[in-house]
Structure 1
Amino acid sequence: MTMILKAKDIGMELQGKPLFEGIHLEVAEGERIALYGRNGMGKSTLLSILAGERQPTNGTVEAVLPRERWGWMRQQDEPDESEMTALEMVRSRSESSLWELKQQLAAIEKQMQATDADAMDRLVEQYGNLLERYESGGGFQWETEVEKAMTMLGIGPDVWPVPYKELSGGQKTKVILGALLVRNPKFLLLDEPTNHLDSESLVWLEQWLVSSYKGTVLFVSHDREFIDRVATTVCELSATELRRYRGGYTDYRREKERELREQETLYRKQELARKALEESIRRYEEWFHRAHNSAGDGDVRITASYYKAKAKKNISRYHAKEKALERLEAERVDKPRSDPKLKMELEAENIGARTLLRVKEMSFGFGDRLLFDRFSFQLNRGDRLAVRGPNGSGKTTLLKLLLGEITPTEGTVAWHPAVKIGYFSQQLEGLEDDMTLLDSLLAIPGMTQSHARTLLGCFLFRRDDVFKQIGQLSMGEKCRTAFLKLYFSGPHLLVLDEPSNYLDVDTREVIEEVLVRFPGAIALVSHDRYLVRKVANRLLTLQPGGAPVWFEGSVAEEEEHMARVGVIRGDTDKENRRMELEYRIQELLGLSAGEGGAEQAEDWLAEIRTLRYELARLQGE
């Protein structure tokens, strides 16, 4: 088994406080390891240490595979070159030497358009030399690979000229990921690669990592389904160790629960044994005490003689019990303790109306692109609506229309006059960055410091954490702060845009339970498939260029319905053609440039575009 990386006894301190210590990790070729742990455990910090960007407080990292052959996608990877287009960003980050040559060629082309005849010969010669270097370095094949990677990720030609800074969060993630795919590193480090990706891109990434990518992967993710489908090993990071578990998230949880049960059983047995030993020792000490008190009493000489004989006989047993207790304490099994969890309950104030919001004949779009055309529906108490669809299909736009932040071009969005709406923004807007957590609560009329600290503790902000400025919090901490804000809003309707991004799994599971118990209505956009499966009882799927599709029921009920429909319609020509198109597209996406030249790769790319167009037409019928 070839090793990619060896890390020994890694420890890290931040601001004089230990973050973790005693971390050992070996990564073998071909492994797909999920680095798992609660927010604040230092997962991203550990990745940066392994990548050589940070020095640990102690310990060593041996990069057996040279880091030039690594690829790293950071959690908040905002490039400086934000004026570039999406296509330029992928090119610049995938192959810097070829990108520099391409820029030089473009600069000479520009000069040639505005130069006189005397300078033209020199420019033509310079251009020819650069072009020869570009072609011999694989520049044209590289351009094809860039376009192929972007197409595979669903970044079509219409997005290529768009400035990077104007892209959505999901599109930015795809761009950075696309640059990594072009480089084709042997070892991938991915920090929250699924953030902001739509379901189609998520499925593609899972399939690519498992079936097409031949390298090694170490990734951080809170997406439980992604971990289940991709990981071969889960490494749980705590303050004192990094523990390995085979399989994905479900396997990890099953093994973790078994360990906790065993620890609980051992702890109970130990406590029973300890109490029995202590009781035996207490009895022996009582015998010794009676024997000692009887030594000088002439009237009870017979009794004294009895106790002395008894004490003498039990002295060896007494010492044996003491040693057994010492051994038990030395091998002590700690009482199982669960990590602190967020404690929260969302309660809706009483409202007499059943219908909280009604959308009637609503139309809206951007420029010539119409997102909603005479769209109507209503939200009632108890509705938990999940809005789904690819990035750019209008999910966040719909939420903003429901909130009244955007006005429809036609139709109406009407709320019950007494309805209160609680909004969780994907961008975490509305948080007072300059205030401390404690001060933000003390600003509420009637709030005491004691009550404020208790509430912050329920949201996992303890001790000195309450004095942190909101602007200095981690993304996970900001998400918890946003839920704290919802707690005080007393909403009848929750509008949630990616509420579980940046939250660890334990907190996500608490949020899921809170939302299931919430008595009001919910409109939810989320790429967290576990969350949507657990919470939603109505499903709205948005399709670019097509009409929204409703399903009245949960994800499980939808899957059951689709399975029945698939059996009924499985033999139709249309369904067979759809399956053929999808199979051929996946086949083409799995091909690499190494299997053909630049012309062949260009043909593959053209065929993919044609097949995608036909598939979209079939799905729209």
Structure 2
Amino acid sequence: MFILQARNLKKHFGEKPVLEDLSFDLNKNDRIGLVGANGAGKTTLANLIYGDIEPDQGTINRNPQMRIGYLLQSVDYTVNDDNQLSAEFLERASELGLKKVHSWQEERFSHLSGGEKLKIALAQIWATNPDILILDEPTNHLDFQGVNWLMNQLQEFNGTVILISHDRYFLDKTITKVFELDLGKLTIYNGNYSTYRIEKQKRYEDQLHQYDVQQKYKARVEGQMAQLQQWAGKAHRTMRDQEGFKEYHGVKAKKLDNAINSKMKRLNQELEKNKVDKPIEEKKVRFQFEASKKRGKRIVEAKSLSKTFSNRMLFKESHFYVNHGERIGIIGPNGSGKTTLLNMLLGNETITSGELSISASLNIAYLSQDVADMPISQTAIEALNLSEKDKLFQARTTLANMGMKADKLTQPIGTLSLGERTRIKLTNMLLCENDLLILDEPTNHLDLASREQLEETISKFPGTILIVSHDYYFINKLCNKLLVIEDRKIKRLEMNLEQYELKKKQQITPDKQLLEEELLRVNTEISAVLGELSLLSPESEKYKELDASFLSLTKNKQDLMNRLGN
């Protein structure tokens, strides 16, 4: 049963059309997410439903006794003693964390923070027991106590809810229907935000397919008309040039002209009847990290770098460099000094000899293999220590991109898995405007799906990344350059891991080539000996000589194969 009915709504501001021919019903207990890009008309539609503005055209039918509670995106609180101190208001305010609001003086109400203003406004709206709730960005400025209270209240609310929000996690937990505004048009989807995203992509692909089919049909008919036009033109020219055949070619040209006009008419009718517009590809909104101004600048350089522990040499006489913006994988056998090199870059380990220059203005973030050093009693959001709305939104987005569910953010870190703790640490690194990320086995505690999500997130980071990892696919996808520790030296290579492994297989040293040539010769001799043995009797002296030669050759072959590593 609908409680509000809108038909053919149009709204313009000056010359600019904002809403074009919108029709919809609001039913009791609907949970609607109103989504769209900035400037799409979400707040305008909310104001139309609320009755604050009137449409230029169209009608809105609502019960005049119906109460609508409307939380504006920008809350300017004013003292209203008739409402603010009601029992219902005080109860709601207390639930939101404003436990002493009843004792506040009037002066206190004039110095409210953004979060306090929002909580006061929410408490006021709930105290009116509305039939329809319209909440415009209700989680802005709210702490997690307020957000959790709001989600719980919306589940229990016996009325219709319209939410305007860019917080997809909040929407996923609260809505069952999506109203999408795009280019002045309204499209309705059933389900929560995630379901809407899947269905939107499916509709786009279906429309694109239909459009492609239509365009191919149009091109085929236009090709046929072009051929007919060519023949008609030839008939007209022949009629002019050949006096005696005017009548014949005139009739032919006229028939072709009629055929062209007929095909054009049918094409236009067909396109008009079943026209499929080319779908507008959705603008990709990418998570933007703060870009540094150091791009292209050399931020790390090593000259004749050596490191020794007691009598053990890890690497010596090594030369390499790192430029800003590069993604470099550090590889080498266990114990070759990879983690030691990271500690030298962090200033936690001294160099034995040589030089290691690091840009003084560099902001470095380090993810160690150990994630047990986090405050286990704090929640993820508390540990991240984010107070700005934009940073909090980015943190939630980043964690979601790495597969961490929203409800995990309010749980104590001690209850989270090692993989979830790794995600929190990574998020902190990504949000702190660092220039260099140093990641030591970042995928150790992550499942396969989480590793792919982590790759996608880190790939958007504009600064420099150094990765130590035994995860082949992870390091191969992210890093197009390598620092390789082999033969007790660190070498920089302009290739990814796959190219490096291929080069190693193809690379044949002179010694190895000689061994392989010798093995080929031995195999040839073994074949020849076996050929002769097959023709001789075991009792003959020649057979005994060849048998001894065969044993010697097979022993030699095994030795060569061992030296080649086969």
TM superposition score normalised by structure 1: 0.48
Q: Which residue of 2 is the match for residue 85 of structure 1?
A: none
SS at match of 1:320: helix
How far apart are residue 288 of structure 1 and its match? 1.5
Q: Which residue of 2 is the match for residue 530 of structure 1?
A: 397
1:381 to 358, 362, 365: 365
Q: Take 2:219 and 2:211, find their aligned partners in 1: how far apart are those partners?
A: 12
**Residue 66 of structure 1 pairs with residue 65 of structure 2:** yes
How far apart are residue 278 of structure 1 and its match? 0.9
CA contact (8 A) 2:11 2:20 kept: yes
How far apart are residue 283 of structure 1 and its match? 0.9
CA contact (8 A) 2:167 2:393 kept: no
Q: Which residue of 2 is the match for residue 169 of structure 1?
A: 114
Q: Take 2:378 and 2:175, find their aligned partners in 1: how far apart are those partners?
A: 26
With over 3 angstroms needed to count, the CA separation of the structure-2 counterparts of 1:299 and 1:58, relative to structure 1, is closer
With over 3 angstroms needed to count, the CA separation of the structure-2 counterparts of 1:498 and 1:536, relative to structure 1, is farther
SS at match of 1:554: helix
**Residue 336 of structure 1 pairs with residue 334 of structure 2:** no
CA contact (8 A) 1:394 1:542 kept: no
With over 3 angstroms needed to count, the CA separation of the structure-2 counterparts of 1:345 and 1:161, relative to structure 1, is closer
Q: Take 1:193 and 1:286, find their aligned partners in 2: how far apart are those partners?
A: 65
How far apart are residue 51 of structure 1 and its match? 1.4
Q: Which residue of 2 is the match for residue 244 of structure 1?
A: 188
SS at match of 1:553: helix
Equivalent positions of 1:408-419 (< 5 A) are none
How far apart are residue 14 of structure 1 and its match? 2.4
Q: Which residue of 2 is the match for residue 327 of structure 1?
A: 269
**Residue 196 of structure 1 pairs with residue 63 of structure 2:** no
Q: Which residue of 1 is the match for residue 533 of structure 2?
A: none
How far apart are residue 172 of structure 1 and its match? 2.6
With over 3 angstroms needed to count, the CA separation of the structure-2 counterparts of 1:6 and 1:346, relative to structure 1, is same
1:184 to 120, 129, 133: 129
CA contact (8 A) 1:189 1:217 kept: yes
Q: Take 2:366 and 2:278, find their aligned partners in 1: how far apart are those partners?
A: 41
**Counterpart residue identity of residue 28, structure 1:** N
CA contact (8 A) 2:380 2:410 kept: no
1:178-204 deviation digits (Å, cap 9, x = unpaired): 222222212111111111223343233
How far apart are residue 4 of structure 1 and its match? 1.7
How far apart are residue 13 of structure 1 and its match? 2.6
How far apart are residue 32 of structure 1 and its match? 1.3
Equivalent positions of 1:151-170 (< 5 A) are 151-157=94-100, 161=104, 163-170=108-115
Q: Take 1:352 and 1:273, find their aligned partners in 2: how far apart are those partners?
A: 59
How far apart are residue 161 of structure 1 and its match? 3.5
With over 3 angstroms needed to count, the CA separation of the structure-2 counterparts of 1:326 and 1:258, relative to structure 1, is same
**Counterpart residue identity of residue 37, structure 1:** G
How far apart are residue 28 of structure 1 and its match? 1.3
1:274-323 deviation digits (Å, cap 9, x = unpaired): 1111111111111112122222545996xx89967865765664343212
CA contact (8 A) 1:170 1:391 kept: no
**Residue 36 of structure 1 pairs with residue 27 of structure 2:** no
2:207 to 232, 240, 263: 263
With over 3 angstroms needed to count, the CA separation of the structure-2 counterparts of 1:13 and 1:542, relative to structure 1, is closer
**Residue 78 of structure 1 pairs with residue 76 of structure 2:** yes
Q: Which residue of 1 is the match for residue 423 of structure 2?
A: 554
**Residue 498 of structure 1 pairs with residue 498 of structure 2:** no
Equivalent positions of 1:88-487 (< 5 A) are 92-93=82-83, 142-143=86-87, 145-157=88-100, 161=104, 163-210=108-155, 212-298=156-242, 317-331=259-273, 332-338=275-281, 346-348=290-292, 349=294, 350=297, 351-352=299-300, 380-381=364-365
1:333-387 deviation digits (Å, cap 9, x = unpaired): 22222355678774332544989999xxxxxxxxxxxxxxxxxxxx843669999
Q: Take 2:190 and 2:14, find their aligned partners in 1: how far apart are those partners?
A: 34
CA contact (8 A) 2:93 2:101 kept: no
- Which has the greater radius of gyration? 2
Q: Take 1:334 and 1:18, find their aligned partners in 2: how far apart are those partners?
A: 20
Count, aligned residues: 357
CA contact (8 A) 1:5 1:65 kept: no
1:562-602 deviation digits (Å, cap 9, x = unpaired): 9xxxxxxxxxxxxxxxxxxxxxxxxxxxxxxxxxxxxxxxx
Percent identity reads 28
**Over the residues paired in the alignment, what is the CA RMSD in angstroms?**
4.7
1:373-410 deviation digits (Å, cap 9, x = unpaired): xxxxxx84366999997999797xx67xxxxxxxxxxx
Q: Which runs of 5+ in 2 are unaligned?
A: 302-341, 348-362, 428-443, 447-566
Q: Which residue of 2 is the match for residue 20 of structure 1?
A: 19
How far apart are residue 222 of structure 1 and its match? 1.1
CA contact (8 A) 1:200 1:390 kept: no
**Counterpart residue identity of residue 75, structure 1:** Q
**Counterpart residue identity of residue 423, structure 2:** S
With over 3 angstroms needed to count, the CA separation of the structure-2 counterparts of 1:214 and 1:252, relative to structure 1, is same
How far apart are residue 260 of structure 1 and its match? 1.0
CA contact (8 A) 2:6 2:25 kept: yes
Q: Take 1:542 and 1:234, find their aligned partners in 2: how far apart are those partners?
A: 26
Q: Which residue of 2 is the match for residue 450 of structure 1?
A: none
CA contact (8 A) 1:235 1:242 kept: yes
1:195-219 deviation digits (Å, cap 9, x = unpaired): 1223343233223212x11111122
**Counterpart residue identity of residue 199, structure 1:** F
Q: Take 1:321 and 1:305, find their aligned partners in 2: how far apart are those partners?
A: 24
Q: Take 1:541 and 1:191, find their aligned partners in 2: how far apart are those partners?
A: 23
Q: Take 2:291 and 2:208, find their aligned partners in 1: how far apart are those partners?
A: 35
1:19-70 deviation digits (Å, cap 9, x = unpaired): 2232223211111111111111221122122212223333332222524x22
Q: Which residue of 2 is the match for residue 53 of structure 1?
A: 52
CA contact (8 A) 1:533 1:555 kept: no
Q: Take 1:271 and 1:25, find their aligned partners in 2: how far apart are those partners?
A: 32
With over 3 angstroms needed to count, the CA separation of the structure-2 counterparts of 1:313 and 1:9, relative to structure 1, is closer
Q: Take 1:542 and 1:222, find their aligned partners in 2: how far apart are those partners?
A: 19
Q: Which runs of 5+ in 1 are unaligned?
A: 82-88, 100-141, 359-378, 400-425, 427-496, 500-523, 563-621
With over 3 angstroms needed to count, the CA separation of the structure-2 counterparts of 1:309 and 1:53, relative to structure 1, is closer
Q: Take 2:83 and 2:218, find their aligned partners in 1: how far apart are those partners?
A: 62
Q: Which residue of 1 is the match for residue 543 of structure 2?
A: none
CA contact (8 A) 1:6 1:64 kept: no
Q: Take 1:221 and 1:147, find their aligned partners in 2: how far apart are those partners?
A: 26
Q: Take 1:245 and 1:542, find their aligned partners in 2: how far apart are those partners?
A: 30
